[in-house]
Structure 1
Amino acid sequence: MPDLQPLWLTLALASITTLILLVLALPLAWWLGVGRFPGKPVVEALVGLPLVLPPTVLGFYLLLAFSPEHAFGRALDRWLDVRLAFTFPGIVIASLLYSLPFMVHPVRSGLKHLPASMTEAAYTLGLSPWTTFRRILLPNLRASIATGVVLTFAHTVGEFGVVLMVGGNIPGVTRVASLALFDEVQSMNYHNANVYAGILLGLSFCLLLGVYLLRNQDHDPV
């Protein structure tokens, strides 16, 4: 029987990442969806960069940033006594950056499909843009938000390169299921590898099934 600790670490990482991004990505998606400001394409490109950037590249630069040999990591170590390289908080931060577009894009897409009259009516009633988003638009984005939550969780569960670069492969600290699977294959222990792979496959399928069920339900006539 394989060690179950990597699976618990994976679920903890995915849950924490999803919850934090749920708070951070909603206003970011709204800001990118309705905002008009110089440099907007640059911000959009930065948010979407993890979709095309090899995870090892992002992990490499984060590892350099977190290192005490560089300014950011040295400042964290000196002033806050915080070390992020090869720690669980470090891979949480890496996962936040790497999974960000998977939460932002579904919410922003949902905003685009809402009728403009909804926002215009709220403004006519004297509601501010932020109040309109919270009280009018947000309740109508339930399916998009749920899709973002599921995709973010599933994407974090499958992370490998960025976690390996930033966190290493430390048992009980940063050794998540994808790394444990790789280790078992390297050791030619295919039984344990099959258990890890089967659990990740089943979990990923269930999560994607949930996404498609939500989409179909959202498009069904009332």
Structure 2
Amino acid sequence: MIDYLLNVDYAPFMLSFKLAFITTLILFVLCMPLAWYLSQTKSKFKPILESLCTMPLVVPPTVLGFYLLWGLSHNSPIGQFFENYFGIKLVFNFYGIIIASCIYSLPFMVQPLQSGFESLNKNMLEASYISGKSKFTTVLRVALPNIKPSLLTALIITFAHTVGEFGVVLMIGGSIPNETRVAAIAIYEFVEVLDYKDAHIYSLIMIVMSFLTLLAVYVFNGNQKKDRFF
């Protein structure tokens, strides 16, 4: 068994990790100000923004993937822009699945951060403003350090969700070795050709990774609660 594991092609996993890392980094940068705004605003448009941010959770991956495929193709304005000015084709390309993953994993970053920001003591934020700190400094030095469990949950769940994504990535990227063939797609292809041995190995690796990811979140959050109690 160990010898077999040593000979497994880990390229799809490495590509999945690369995609997940880049997606998580991009979403953190983009979603932190968005989550902060949603947690603080009383605008009548807030429910609309929250619905748009949550839609990737309920829209079927094939539907989302289809419209992303249409929106990123070389015939679309976005696809033409990237192809004409950067020489990048977004469909069946690693750049394309990054965009798709960012959209599909958006709720997993926004919602924990928003919940964390909403749970903050308002007096602490007001004290920061009174002392002359800007909103940016308040978020960076006051808010974020005080929502560590929510921050960790957002980062880890977004990463893990992106690693396991299948439908949207397949629609946008297909299955190009070392380019778009991530671990979930590799498992699907093993099953298609009745290679259940490799499918089992890849699936077990994904299950172990998922369990360890969730375990890390629950252990950290549990320790944070104990620290606050004592």
The interval holding the TM-score normalised by the smaller chain is over 0.9
Partner of 1:3: 9
Larger displacement relative to structure 2 (36-45 or 141-150): 36-45
Aligned match of 2:142 in 136, 139, 148? Answer: 136
- Structure 1, unpaired ranges of 5+: none
TM score, norm. by length of structure 2: 0.92
Partner of 1:196: 202
What displacement does 1:143 show? 1.6
Which deviations, in whole Å up to 9, do the C-alpha atoms of 1:39-83 show, x marking residues without a partner?
222211111111111111111111111111222212322233221
C-alpha RMSD over aligned residues: 1.4
Partner of 1:176: 182
Give structure 1 regions of 4+ aligned residues with deviation exceeding 4 angstroms.
none
- Letter of the aligned partner of 1:138 in structure 2? L
Which deviations, in whole Å up to 9, do the C-alpha atoms of 1:69-117 show, x marking residues without a partner?
2222123222332210000111011101111111111111111111111
The question of whether the paired residues in 2 share the 8 Å contact of 1:147 and 1:214 is answered with no
Partner of 1:187: 193
Aligned match of 2:62 in 39, 56, 64? Answer: 56
Partner of 1:24: 30
What displacement does 1:151 show? 0.3
User: Where do residues 46-85 of structure 1 align in structure 2 (5 Å cutoff)?
Assistant: 46-85=52-91
Partner of 2:111: 105
CA distance in 2 between counterparts of 1:207 and 1:18 reads: 14
Say whether 1:165 aligns with 2:205: no
CA distance in 1 between counterparts of 2:19 and 2:215 reads: 21
TM score, norm. by length of structure 1: 0.95
What displacement does 1:38 show? 4.6
- Letter of the aligned partner of 2:149 in structure 1? A
- Letter of the aligned partner of 1:133 in structure 2? V
Q: Percent identity?
A: 47
User: Where do residues 79-98 of structure 1 align in structure 2 (5 Å cutoff)?
Assistant: 79-98=85-104
CA distance in 1 between counterparts of 2:62 and 2:224 reads: 36
CA distance in 2 between counterparts of 1:195 and 1:150 reads: 23
Partner of 1:152: 158
Which deviations, in whole Å up to 9, do the C-alpha atoms of 1:191-221 show, x marking residues without a partner?
1001100100000000011111122112112
| Number of equivalenced pairs | 222
CA distance in 2 between counterparts of 1:112 and 1:70 reads: 39
CA distance in 1 between counterparts of 2:80 and 2:131 reads: 51
The question of whether the paired residues in 2 share the 8 Å contact of 1:184 and 1:190 is answered with yes
CA distance in 1 between counterparts of 2:139 and 2:178 reads: 41
CA distance in 2 between counterparts of 1:7 and 1:93 reads: 19
